[in-house]
Amino acid sequence: MTLNITSLIQKNNTKIVLVVLDGLGGLPVNGKTELENANTPNMDRLARESACGLHLPVDYAITPGSGPGHLSLFGYDPVEFQIGRGILEALGLGVEVTKNDITLRCNYATIKDGIITDRRAGRIPTDKSRLITERLQSSIKSIGDVEVLFAPGMEHRFAVRLRFPNPVSTLHAMIDDTDPQKEGKAPLSPNPTTEEARPIAKVLEQLISAIASVIKDEDKANYILTRGVSSLPDIPPFYDRYGLKALAIATYPMYRGLARLVHMDTPTVEGSVQDEIDFLKKNYKDYDFFFLHVKKVDSYGEDGNFQGKSNRISEFDALLPQILELNPDVLMITGDHSTPALLKSHSWHPVPILLKSPYVLGGTCNAFSERECLKGELGIFHTIKLLPLALANSLRLKKFGA
C-alpha cells in the first residue's frame, strides 16, 4: 500500500530548488565517468554535507524517456501517468491542446536513397528549422477534415497538432514512432497498435508523405521522423498534490511542456544556463518550488561526446555558487536519467542525486559522482520518492498518525 501524502501537507515559507542536469549519469571511459572527469569543486563540496544517493526513474533495468524521468522527479508515477512526447513538445511550445487533438513530436532528418543518414539533420540551427516549419504550415493546412498545425521548436525539432472533428482518446494515439533510433536504417511506418488508432495512422501516413514532398530538396532537413504520438492526458495539478507554487525554468520546449502538464508556471525562457539562473533570482520571492533544467549535458551524451558532456557539467558547477547565494531551504541536484556517451543514448543506470538541507546526515561522500553517491545515506531508491523527501526536509509534511 502506498501512502497518499497530500493529507500530510503543511504550508510554510520554505524554498525548494530542483536542478536537473539532463542525462547526468554516465559510464566510465578510461576509468572515469563524465561526472568524475568534470571539474566540479562546488558540487563535490556540497556532496560532502548533503544527503546523496542514486535514483531509479522507473525501475531496475528500465531505460526511461525524458517524460517518465521528469514525471518521477515531480512526484508522479510514470507507469500510472504514461505521457507521449508529442503532447509535451506541443504544450512546451505554447500550443493549445483540446480533447479533439492528437499531437506528435517530429525531428527533421536527412535521408538518402530511402535510408536515414542523420536522425537529427545535423542539429540544424533553430532559425533555419523555423523557416522550414513555416513553409510546411503555408503548404499544408489540413489532411482531409483534419486541421494541421505546425509549431517550430529548437534545432531539428518541431511539433504537430492534428485537430479532429470529434474527441479522441489515448487509444486513438497508440501509434508506433517512425524513428528507428539509428542511422543506416529506413524510416519505420506509423503502425497503429489499437483498432481505434488505425484511421489516425492513415492520416499520419498522408501527412508524412505531404511533408516529404515539400522538403525533399532541402540539403539536410529533407525528411521527418515522428515520435510520441499522444492525446491530452488527465493528470492532477502539482499544487493540489503537493501544496507548492511552482515555477519551471527551461529553455527547451519539451521540458516546459512537462511542467505545464502538471500546471507549473512555464514562462518562455531563452538563452544560456546563466540566463536561467538570472531568471531564478528575479522570481525567487514569488514561488515555493523551482525546477531549473539544463539540457546540453544530455545532448553531448547522445552524440557520444564524452568530453563535451564533462565540459557542460563543469560549466554548471562554476555557476552553482549563484544558486547557493539564494540559500534555498532544500537544494537538489540530479538528472532525469543517465545518458552515457559510451552508449550514445539514455540508459537504465541509476542517477546520482545530492539533497542539501539542514536536516540530513551528510559526511558520507567525498565528491559528487556515481561511485561516491553509492556510499550516500539515500542509497538506491525510486525517483518518485524524491519529492516527498524534499517536502520532509523543508518541514512541509505533518506527522502521520497519533
Question: Is residue 125 pLDDT above 90, yes or no?
Answer: yes
* Predicted pLDDT at 84: 81
* Predicted pLDDT at 39: 98
Residue 114: pLDDT band (50, 70, 90) is: very high
Mean pLDDT, residues 356-373 taken together: 98
Question: Is residue 3 pLDDT above 80, yes or no?
Answer: no
* Predicted pLDDT at 154: 86
* Predicted pLDDT at 89: 86
Question: Is residue 111 pLDDT above 90, yes or no?
Answer: yes
3-state secondary structure (DSSP) of residue 382: strand
Residue 91: pLDDT band (50, 70, 90) is: confident
Of the options 3.20.20.70, 3.40.720.10, 3.40.50.2300, 3.40.50.2000, the CATH number for the domain spanning 13-83+235-393: 3.40.720.10
Q: Which fold has domain 87-230?
A: Alpha-Beta Plaits (3.30.70)
Residue 392: pLDDT band (50, 70, 90) is: very high
Q: What's the mean per-residue pLDDT of the chain?
A: 95
Residue 128: pLDDT band (50, 70, 90) is: very high
pTM: 0.82
**DSSP letters spanning 339-355:** --TTTTS-BSS-EEEEE
| Range name among 43-47, 180-184, 254-258, 397-401 with the lowest pLDDT average | 254-258
Q: What is the Cα–Cα distance from 94 to 79, expressed in whole angstroms?
A: 26
* Predicted pLDDT at 200: 95
Q: Torsion over CA of 327, 332, 335 and 336, rounded to 10 degrees?
A: -120
* Predicted pLDDT at 162: 97
* Predicted pLDDT at 292: 98
Length of the chain: 402
pLDDT, tens digit, for every residue of 256-287? Answer: 988 988 999 999 999 999 999 999 999 999 99
Q: What is the Cα–Cα distance from 262 to 136, expressed in whole angstroms?
A: 31
* Predicted pLDDT at 308: 97
Question: Is residue 83 pLDDT above 90, yes or no?
Answer: no
* Predicted pLDDT at 234: 85
Q: What is the Cα–Cα distance from 237 to 234, expressed in whole angstroms?
A: 10
Question: What share of the chain in percent tops pLDDT 70?
Answer: 100
Output the CA torsion sign for 196, 150, 124, 268.
Answer: negative
* Predicted pLDDT at 2: 64
Mean pLDDT, residues 71-94 taken together: 89
All cell numbers assigned to 61 = 533495468
pLDDT, tens digit, for every residue of 30-64? Answer: 999 999 999 999 999 999 999 999 999 999 999 99
Domain boundaries, the chain: 13-83+235-393, 87-230
Mean pLDDT, residues 119-123 taken together: 93
Output the CA torsion sign for 217, 230, 386, 398.
Answer: positive
Q: Which of 66-70, 85-89, 179-183, 336-340 has the highest mean pLDDT?
A: 336-340
Higher-pLDDT residue of 94, 159: 159
* Predicted pLDDT at 74: 97
Question: Is residue 1 pLDDT above 70, yes or no?
Answer: no
Q: What is the Cα–Cα distance from 395 to 387, expressed in whole angstroms?
A: 12
Mean pLDDT, residues 128-148 taken together: 96
